[in-house]
Amino acid sequence: MTTVHSVTISQPIVDGNARSIRMGFSGATNIIPSSTGAAKAVGKVLPEVNGILTGMAFRVPTICGSVVDLTLTLEDSKVGLREVMGAIKQASQNELKDILKIDNSDSLTLAAIIDEPSSSLVDEKACIEITSKNGDKLIKLISWYDNEFGYSCRLMQLAHLVGTK
């Protein structure tokens, strides 16, 4: 899993001191490879992937918004991108309604997802299936999120749920 996300408060605006030389470079003018806690967080929410999902991040000089590139290795050769997208669509219309969405347009960019209330907006046009020479299938899922607004929307849902109990 690779996340590409906006500069964070832990990065300096101009070159300076940080926990590593790389993280000391200006977040406003550099693309910086970094570690991420996202894979570990997914493992806590979905214990079945705990320990088998790993990831890294690229911090980029934008003000808000992120995208995830998740690569799946499929064990069942009968399953492909169409089936994976079908499962995502089904979940987005049922148990993950308003949390997970799919977009099939050609217009998704970082600017298009600012103030997106869902936690994950799967970019169907950007997702691909790769079959290796030996028949192994890889699926690359691309999903956008506004890490500030989407999170705020989940907090509002939680407050509403607590308030109605």
**Cα-to-chain-centroid distance, residue 11:** 20
Beta bridge partners of 143: 68, 122
Q: What DSSP assignment string belongs to 2-42?
A: EEEEE--TTS-SSS---SSTGGGS-TTT--EEE--SHHHHH
d(C-alpha 49, C-alpha 67), whole Å: 20
> pLDDT per residue over 113-163, tens digit each?
999 999 999 999 999 999 888 888 999 999 999 988 999 999 999 999 999
Q: Tally the residues of the chain.
A: 165
Q: Is the overall model pTM greater than 0.85, yes or no?
A: yes
